[in-house]
Structure 1
Amino acid sequence: MSKGKLVGVALGPGDPELITVKGLKALQTADVIFYPASDIKKSGNVSFSENILKQLNVDVPSLPLCIPMTGKNRETNYLKAFQEIQIELDKGKLVAVVSEGDALFYSTFGYLLKLAQDAGVECNVIPGIPAFIASGAEGQRPITEGNQALKVIARPNSFEEIEEELKEKQTLVVMKMSVLDNWFDFLKTQNRPFFYIERVGTSQQYSTTNVMDLELRGIPYFSLIIIYG
């Protein structure tokens, strides 16, 4: 069993002020912080988490974990990342691993947590605000209320899959919606209100409830849509 401790810290969806007080304190008291990066370059890392972390001005050494945003070699990439974490744990350090959104909601940290638990590492997880909750606040409309159901899906295989979900009387949140093209054409066929948002909580945030705004708009990776029931 390693001598160190591991804490997963959720950073929130993008706005650095949306981290919890507990999460910020955990980062301030950590010995080292790791953040996921989809690519590591001399010119700078490609990391959404690092962008949030820098704005928090935490005076703790921070290191990237290279975890590409592809399904290829996923287990190998996570194992390599955990091995880097394990080096610091074996030194008896308090290691924090940050993740945008919530630490265990469609998150990189969930995979690392399992590896740590299997290795007998003492772990703690500090939750945060996932993107769809922050998006509901930006849309200023209840995501769900009363006895209405809510379903969240990510990386849908087709619009037919989404149509099946919409047959139920529920609000549907679609995360990682950029895997499908032609959202404009699909939404035109639906007689349901929606709230589309991208890069929530950042200076590049954009949102709309008007389908015509999406006719020529490219859908980035950090985007989601709430289709109300």
Structure 2
Amino acid sequence: MNGKFYGLGVGPGDPELVTVKAVKVLNKADIIIAPETISGKGSVAYKIIKEHVEQQDKVKFQVFPMTYDADALDSTWNQNMEEIMLFLKQGKDVAFITLGDPMIYSTYIYVMRRIKAQGIEVETVPGIPSFCAAASRLGIPLSEGEETIAIIPAAYKCDHMDELLTYGDNVILMKPSRGFEDTVEKLDKHQLLQNTVMISKCGHADESITWDLKKMTGQKIDYLSMIIAKKRGTKE
């Protein structure tokens, strides 16, 4: 009998924001898959849940490189899937951990689809999304009354960014490190910079908050950053 595959959202960074259900699954699963971008670099998601895991030797690190090379990605993904499927076919329950919520711009989504295609039972445990944690940390409501929210994956080229900035009452730009200067330029064009804040590594020990984005142009922006822009202002 095959094991069960779990996707666990571990939240934005604070270990206390990991859900009770996620902790229960972590400790009943036979294997925990912790993704890292470079072999030996370590997993941010694992650092969050480490103190909750009673048996550390069941954690297996897998490399999911940050690259746009389709061939390299496909080769790595196939190797990772083979290892996960081996565990599952041995009857072991496997928990795949991911930052924030598993269903929001997550590597887990692609893993889940491949696992489901093999006829494996899958259960996804939600986590606190990074932008919700950031809004609470900053004391900025993301929506009130009839306000709309637009979530933009700023790490990728978004052809509709101008339209979203025009019509969205509140805009969240996820992972803006790639093309940061272009993003700042667009926010300035739409007269949103004065109502914009960027938070990096929310909930981590080295969290940082920036209210003046123009000062950050030309500097290295952490990958785990996000921008919140509100037409009615961020400092009401």
Same fold (TM over 0.5): yes
Greater Cα shift, 218-227 or 187-196:
187-196
1:169–1:100 CA distance, 2 compared to 1 (3 A): closer
| Equivalent position of 1:70 in the other structure | 67
Q: Deviations over 1:145-187 (max 9, x none)?
A: 11111111112426x7533321114211111211113255554
| Equivalent position of 2:51 in the other structure | 55
**CA separation in 1, counterparts of 2:68 and 2:213?**
31
Deviation at 1:208, TM superposition (A): 2.4
| Equivalent position of 2:203 in the other structure | 201
Greater Cα shift, 168-177 or 116-125:
168-177
Deviation at 1:93, TM superposition (A): 0.8
Q: For 1:80-119, what aligned pairs fall within 5 Å after superposition?
A: 80-119=79-118
1:165–1:46 CA distance, 2 compared to 1 (3 A): same
**CA separation in 2, counterparts of 1:46 and 1:7?**
21
Deviation at 1:195, TM superposition (A): 2.0
**CA separation in 2, counterparts of 1:185 and 1:122?**
46
| Equivalent position of 2:157 in the other structure | 157
Contact 2:37 2:63 in 1 (8 A): yes
1:47–1:171 CA distance, 2 compared to 1 (3 A): same
Contact 2:12 2:99 in 1 (8 A): yes
1:190–1:214 CA distance, 2 compared to 1 (3 A): farther
Asked whether 1:136 is paired with 2:113, we answer no
Count the aligned residue pairs: 224
Greater Cα shift, 83-92 or 55-64:
55-64
Q: Which runs of 5+ in 2 are unaligned?
A: 232-236
**CA separation in 2, counterparts of 1:186 and 1:217?**
18
- Which aligned runs of 4 or more in structure 1 are off by greater than 6 angstroms? none
Two-structure CA RMSD over aligned residues (Å)? 2.0
Greater Cα shift, 76-85 or 105-114:
76-85
**Percent identity over paired residues:** 29
Q: Which runs of 5+ in 1 are unaligned?
A: none
Deviation at 1:194, TM superposition (A): 1.3
SS in 2 for 1:12: coil
| Equivalent position of 1:22 in the other structure | 21
TM-score by length of 1: 0.89
